[in-house]
Structure 1
């Protein structure tokens, strides 16, 4: 009997080749990337691009309206519109009778929407925690971002109040820059740490640049009014560096368009109005610095080069003074510092070693001329000048005129800064109602205080392109 044949073991079939498919992205990874891009666009002043991106996302998620992400997208569309209005200084527009402040109202509504998203995730935490891991993380991320965006909006509301305060000060004759410094310092201290998520890094950076720049500019204005050469220079340098860094991260630019037949050209800027206002403020302070410390700076170069550099400033104050002196045949035009009550002991013009000790000046020396044209201030007139400044209340919007029969000279004085006075001396009798002299001093005083620039924040003023 034949042996049964042993069955052959079946051969292992070769696996079928299957096409490779890309791994699925984790839930929320795409949306998280969009959030990153969105806030980067806002920090680059690309508000319309950010809004367009979220508008497209809204169309995609129409069917899931009511979900945390769909609600977030709707809020971010409104947020980009609000930020554009803020940076355009639209919130300072005149409010007609019965008209609401649209930006404040928009931020108020946004606060409510963001809080609802944040609260809905918290209230449904037991449901959220039952979702797949990536979904849990994404929902919690949205809740976390909403909370920090609420803090950002509160900071925005404070800076809106701040700029309204500046615009009001531009119309006041007494401007207290220290009050403004205290306000912006408080905003930085209270709010700068409240929106720190990495996704909001661009937004936080933009907010920090804005607050730091205005703080440095205001500080430089205070220091300049005390004739602090080095400290003023450092504050101006800081403001310039931060404005440059802020601007370089953006997508805005300046272009020059030629007119018909190439005869004229116009500079068109895509910088937001607020950035342009800060840039102009810095340029005005640089021009003021060039006048207050003209003698110090002129020693570092030739007279011709100094005149050329001064002419490049946004305002050429030196040339204005020279033209005024020649036209009215003034004996002297000076900027006089009342060094008696300034915080730091006045050390004289220019840089001084920080460890060198100085005594507080007394007598006539406590009223030095930090700028004088033509030549040095006239010493024989200085006792009169000092007496007039110390014995009278010299205003910022009104010229004080005094004729001294004894020396047959006329003195015109106006307050330009808290401790700095513009003094014009004529060695003849001059009418106190001389409109050219009075208008020149009132205008120069206002420009040196940057009052006109502060007032450009008011409705109806054009910001940025004028010279």
Structure 2
């Protein structure tokens, strides 16, 4: 840089102030991507993620206030001062957007409130709409691109999660595909040496260079892929020969196993857990049941969007989404529907137990999603306190609800 330019910069106090703020923001961004703002603290320090953004916001406001008198006297005559003011104004909007996203993540993993994924999607969509045109200057393009990718990814994952809860095949599939595509784009700078390698392979390596936020979003995606393979197993199994399906699922299981070794809080494939449990306990039926009441039920797989499906009634209003090791017991379905109806208003955290003395059949039911319940049927008397059964039900509920995943998000950079 020549002497004239150095002199011009030294005589531009607003530019120097802006450069100092940008230095603050670089530290804040590193803290944000590391999720340190989610770590529990007794007080908010100035050095914490939220504290740095607050400090940066205050400094940016000062720059805007100091530049206004000069710009009013001679608008746009001083190109550098006008640029500094314009960048400061847009960076202030970026800081507000970051602060709202921190509040969003804190609400998403709030342990005191049951997470409503549909509501969280609406909140995030509102944030995206509010700031979509707020920091558009070409010099801020990297910040804008990173912000857009992050919010698009988490929004797609939340929408996929909501669609699965209502057993909508195509919306779930499209949202998962969108999230995967953008995760690979967002993570591409971190795999420059091996661009063909999947981001999930880096996430599974301990002490990797991938930021904590990106790692968590990839784990969220993998958890939803696992859930998708369980909820829509019947549809997926019809798309390929059994041998190919088994190969695809085993590959997914291998990917999950690698991640599981590094991050034990993640659950293995629900399908694998079901098969293992059935062999261990000789359960006669393990069934995932969908409650069609208040939902746009279309049945298994993809259906033409404008097509009309007659709402099911009676016993058909509780279809079996998945049944193992054999098809659902039609002769027992009236009892199942009655138990599901009775347990719908009960404690969702605890399984419902029922033993039919006349038929000598034991039922266990636990709600695993907004519209989904997991049913176990034993053609023998089983104890309500059987630890193998209760542990399996609680583990499956935790896996499908995403409880452990959100718990890990609360740990911030410690995960």
| TM bracket, shorter-chain basis | 0.7 to 0.9
Q: Which residue does 2:71 correspond to in 1?
A: 125
Question: Which residue among 270, 289, 295 is the counterpart of 2:234?
Answer: 295
Aligned-residue offset at 1:99: 5.2
Structure 1 residue 89 corresponds to structure 2 residue 42 = no
1:214-267 Cα offsets, whole Å, 9 max, x none, are 11111111110111111111111111112122222x345698xxxxxxxxx955
Cα distance change, pair 369–96 in 1 and its aligned pair in 2 (3 A): same
Cα distance in structure 1, aligned partners of 2:334 and 2:176: 35
Aligned-residue offset at 1:348: 1.1
Structure 1 residue 228 corresponds to structure 2 residue 228 = no
Cα distance in structure 2, aligned partners of 1:350 and 1:211: 28
SS in structure 1 at match of 2:362: strand
Q: Which residue does 2:259 correspond to in 1?
A: none
Structure 1 residue 116 corresponds to structure 2 residue 62 = yes
CA contact (8 A) 2:35 2:413 kept: no
Cα distance in structure 2, aligned partners of 1:350 and 1:164: 35
Correspondences of 1:29-178 after superposition (within 5 Å)? 64=10, 67-96=13-42, 102-125=48-71, 136-169=78-111, 172=113, 174-178=114-118
- Paired residues, number: 391
Structure 1 residue 318 corresponds to structure 2 residue 260 = no
Which consecutive residues of structure 2, in runs of 5 or more, have no partner in the other structure? Answer: 195-203, 257-267
Cα distance change, pair 116–375 in 1 and its aligned pair in 2 (3 A): same
Cα distance change, pair 232–460 in 1 and its aligned pair in 2 (3 A): closer
Aligned-residue offset at 1:357: 1.8
Aligned-residue offset at 1:452: 0.7
Cα distance in structure 1, aligned partners of 2:376 and 2:4: 74
Q: Which residue does 1:384 correspond to in 2?
A: 335
Cα distance in structure 1, aligned partners of 2:153 and 2:118: 15
Cα distance in structure 2, aligned partners of 1:106 and 1:424: 52
Correspondences of 1:447-466 after superposition (within 5 Å)? 447-459=399-411, 462-463=414-415
SS in structure 1 at match of 2:10: coil
Q: Which residue does 1:414 correspond to in 2?
A: 366
Cα distance in structure 1, aligned partners of 2:44 and 2:95: 24
Aligned-residue offset at 1:396: 3.3
Cα distance in structure 1, aligned partners of 2:108 and 2:4: 47
SS in structure 1 at match of 2:110: helix
When normalised by structure 1's length, the TM-score is 0.78
CA contact (8 A) 2:361 2:381 kept: yes
Cα distance change, pair 114–384 in 1 and its aligned pair in 2 (3 A): same
Cα distance in structure 1, aligned partners of 2:139 and 2:10: 24
Aligned-residue offset at 1:122: 1.5
Cα distance in structure 1, aligned partners of 2:332 and 2:413: 42
Cα distance in structure 2, aligned partners of 1:461 and 1:110: 22
Cα distance in structure 2, aligned partners of 1:127 and 1:64: 22
Q: Which residue does 1:335 correspond to in 2?
A: 288
* Larger fraction in helix: 2
1:329-354 Cα offsets, whole Å, 9 max, x none, are 10010110001221x2x121011222
RMSD: 2.6
CA contact (8 A) 2:34 2:412 kept: no
Correspondences of 1:338-417 after superposition (within 5 Å)? 338-342=291-295, 344=296, 346-392=297-343, 393-417=345-369
Question: Which residue among 206, 213, 229 is the counterpart of 2:153?
Answer: 213
Q: Which residue does 1:8 correspond to in 2?
A: none
Larger Rg: 1
Q: Which residue does 1:426 correspond to in 2?
A: 378
CA contact (8 A) 1:166 1:180 kept: yes
Structure 1 residue 272 corresponds to structure 2 residue 214 = no
Cα distance in structure 2, aligned partners of 1:142 and 1:338: 57
Aligned-residue offset at 1:451: 1.3
Aligned-residue offset at 1:127: 7.1
Cα distance in structure 2, aligned partners of 1:69 and 1:461: 33
1:111-167 Cα offsets, whole Å, 9 max, x none, are 11111122222222367669xx6xx11210110010011011111111000100111
CA contact (8 A) 2:237 2:245 kept: yes
